[in-house]
Amino acid sequence: MAMQLLLNLILAFVWMLLHDDGSASRFIAGYALGAAILFALRRFWPGGFYLTRLWAVVKLLALFARELVASSFAVVRAVLSPKLDIRPGIFAYKTELSSDWEVTVLSCLICLTPGTLTLDVSPDGQTLYIHAMDIQDAEELSRQIRGTFEKAIMEVTRP
């Protein structure tokens, strides 16, 4: 991915030099042309086209922002309600992520989302013990994590 990005930047600068124009619009045109060339040659790169992975990173960040806002409102609603009607609890979450980096990112995303906290990770790295402020159904919460954060992390880390 880094090699493709570097090659794309080099192509953009070469495009600027060929036209003897150092403007931003000429750089953007060269970058777009370089991206098109790299996309045409994507089957020769072992990791696939780099902009697809970059797009997956942007989607993960947008997903995190959405979950952050939604869970923040849920926590504020629970705190400000006159009757505290929550069921805090701890549940074990079995993850399909394999690398330490993936599990660490998932754990951090869970910790940064208000109302949830990763307490521990099993020695094999496959089970996370999560404290949630309000657990109506642990299976539903597990499906939600698997369908949002875990799926987005896999899109970023796996070709």
Which pLDDT score is estimated for 24? 93
Three-state helix/strand/coil letters over the chain: CHHHHHHHHHHHHHHHHHHCCCCHHHHHHHHHHHHHHHHHCHHHCCCCCHHHHHHHHHHHHHHHHHHHHHHHHHHHHHHHCCCCCCCCEEEEEECCCCCHHHHHHHHHHHHHCCCEEEEEECCCCCEEEEEECCCCCHHHHHHHHHHHHHHHHHHHHCC
Residues in the chain, total: 159
Which pLDDT score is estimated for 59? 96
* pLDDT tens for each residue of 53-96: 889 999 999 999 999 999 999 899 888 988 888 889 999 999 99
Distance CA 39, CA 139 (A): 41
Which pLDDT score is estimated for 70? 92
- Mean of the per-residue pLDDT values for the chain? 91
Q: Which two tokens stand for residue 39?
A: 């996309």
51, pLDDT greater than 80: yes
What is the residue type of 61? L
pLDDT-derived band at 45 (thresholds 50, 70, 90) equals confident
Q: Global pTM?
A: 0.79
Which pLDDT score is estimated for 18? 94
Domain boundaries, given as residue ranges, for the chain: 2-44, 54-157
Which pLDDT score is estimated for 85? 83
Measured torsion, CA atoms of residues 56, 58, 60, 66, in degrees rounded to the nearest 10 = -140
What is the mean predicted confidence (pLDDT) over 130-140? 90
